[in-house]
Structure 1
Amino acid sequence: MSNQNDQPAASFSPISRTQVSEEVARQIQRFIANNRLQVGARLPTERELAAQLGVGRGGVREGIKMLAGIGILEVRQGAGIFVRESQRLVLLDPSLVEGSERLELLKKATAARRILDCAAVEVATLAATEEQLAEIRVYLQQAETEPFRTKLAHSIDLTFEMMIGRATDNPYLAAVQGEAHRYFRMVWEHQGFLPRPAGERSEQHMAILEAMERRDPHAARARMEEHFDLQALAKAGPDRRQ
């Protein structure tokens, strides 16, 4: 049992049995951010974490393994669990910052999406099956009609890009893309405006898909780059709601 005196006060809450490891990982990240733990800080033991989170040690172990796999934690055999990369609470809860800073976060989250989605569409253009391309076309045709267009809002973009990610036939790329989308969604929900008019977005989606259907990866990437033109985002304001 580690010495409680050299550990910050825990602030965990019990979690449900579904998706235990993912929720364990999220709560550990928030714990690191809330306590401003720096690189090298030691976390509670697996047993202590399991007790505080109200889950089994297996779920805790898997959550720790997830965070170790992406470089946030380091497990030293016989020594304990240590922070390898400090966490910023603003990335976990964008509501804690002012609107102007959230706008900057939205721009950065969009830039991360741009890097991954432009790479994904280039790969998917050659890797996608005809069935996957047909599925994307059906989705766009349905999503860009009312009432779906208003109801889905930015989810049209994210679902379209997610379908492209799946079509790469590369689960690692799709997983990293999913994380970028998750951060974008969190900031988006606290900022609340569209970066481009719905009609323009629809045209861009179709242009991307048509390039994919022609099996032209360079054109598909170019159309996706246009889709992520950050100048449009910079001009957007809180009054531009769908």
Structure 2
Amino acid sequence: MFIHTSYVCIVIDCNMAKEKLSEMVAERIKKDIAAKKYKTGEKIPAEPELMEAYQVGRSSVREAIKSLAMAGVLRVQQGNGTFVNEQATAQPLDQRLHNADFDEINAVRMLLETELVKLAVDHHTQADLDAMHQHLTDRRHAIETENKQACTNADIAFHTAIATASRNKVLADLYDYFTLSIRSLFSKREQQGIAHFAMSHYLHDALFDAIRGKKKKEALKIIQQILSNNY
């Protein structure tokens, strides 16, 4: 079947436009919260009212609410509506994560990755294993060539592949959001170069083998060892 390239471009442009609109709506909602139009603890208007207020479509409103809920600005209660969180006017979540210390970030990382590894053992596909193996190969090559940035990229990609293999989209999305903080932590450990990547590579290989072999207890033991040693 032939699909004209101009049609593809229109679809891409439309998707980009929706993303920009949802971002604009999210910013408008945050400004209205700051201006006390939507007060702390109160329910914001329903989708039709927001569509009319901001002159956008339903999908843009939904994406805006989703992003604000993930950021902790809004709280969605199924069947009751969407409410302004008490901490909506506080420091944004991404900024709080950026300012968090290493132990706080690593504690949350341990909770997330432990659950993701557990699920990945049960739900991975061959495509997931192929992706993990490729990222490990890239990680090893980056260590051998002493390329710290490539090490960071490959390491995060490997753990993200595990998150994808969990088949839990909510947890995977949370982990994807959280990788910004993990990357920041790696950059703060500049003085260590690639040493911590090299020392932990055998553990990452072992984790891959355990996931592939569906050895859940072994996989959980290894991920805890990786994280407890701040690898």
TM-score calculated relative to the size of structure 1: 0.63
CA distance in structure 2 between the partners assigned to 1:39 and 1:110 by the alignment: 31
In structure 2, which of residues 155, 173, 184 is the aligned counterpart of residue 157 of structure 1?
Answer: 155
For residues 33 and 152 of structure 2, the distance between their equivalents in structure 1, rounded to whole angstroms, comes to 28
Tell me, yes or no, if the aligned pair for 1:204 and 1:227 is still in contact at 8 Å.
yes
Post-superposition shift, 1:168?
Answer: 1.8
State the Cα deviation string for residues 73-130 of structure 1 (Å, max 9, x = none). Answer: 2689xxx9741342442633359x8xxxx362x4322221211111111221122123
**Mapping of residues 112-127 of structure 1, within 5 Å:** 112-127=108-123
More helix by percentage: 2
Distance 2:166 2:127 in 1: 13
Q: Match for residue 218 of structure 1?
A: 217
Single out whichever of 23-32 and 161-170 deviates more from structure 2. 23-32
Matched, 1:46 2:44: no
Matched, 1:204 2:203: yes
SS at match of 1:19: helix
CA distance in structure 2 between the partners assigned to 1:218 and 1:158 by the alignment: 23
Which 10-residue stretch deviates more, 205-214 or 19-28? 19-28
CA–CA distance in structure 1, aligned partners of residues 29 and 181 of structure 2: 14
Residue identity in the other structure for 2:185: W
Q: Does 1:86 align with 2:87?
A: yes
- Which whole-Å CA distance do the structure 2 matches of 1:32 and 1:148 have between them? 49
Cα RMSD for the two superposed structures = 4.1
Deviation at 1:193, TM superposition (A): 1.9
Contact 1:24 1:60 in 2 (8 A): no
Tell me the distance in 1 between the aligned counterparts of 2:28 and 2:105: 22
Residues 47 and 174 (structure 1 numbering): CA distance in 2 closer, same or farther, change over 3 Å?
A: closer
Q: In the superposition, relative to structure 1, how do residues 183 and 198 fare at CA in structure 2: closer, same or farther (>3 Å)?
A: closer
Q: What's the offset of the Cα at 1:135?
A: 2.8
Moved more, 217-226 or 80-89: 80-89
Give me the TM-score of the superposition, normalised by structure 2.
0.65
What runs of 5+ residues in structure 1 fail to find an aligned partner?
A: 1-15, 234-242
**Cα offset, 1:175, TM superposition:** 2.1
Q: CA distance change for structure 1 residues 175 and 75 in 2, over 3 Å: closer, same or farther?
A: closer
Q: Distance in 1 between matches of 2:30 and 2:150?
A: 29
Conserved in 2, the CA contact under 8 Å of 1:74 and 1:83?
yes
Q: Percent identity?
A: 16
Kept in 1, the 8 Å contact 2:25–2:64? The answer is: yes
TM-superposition CA deviations, 1:52-73 (whole Å, max 9, x none): xxxx354551234315765742
Cα distance change on mapping 1:60 and 1:75 into 2, 3 Å: farther
From the superposition, tell whether residues 112 and 42 of structure 1 become closer, same or farther in structure 2 (CA, over 3 Å): same
* 2: CA distance, partners of 1:183 / 1:26: 22
1:94-133 maps to which residues of 2 (within 5 A)?
102=99, 104=101, 106-133=102-129
In 2 relative to 1, CA 82–174 (structure 1 residues): closer, same or farther, beyond 3 Å? closer
Distance 1:21 1:179, change over 3 A: farther
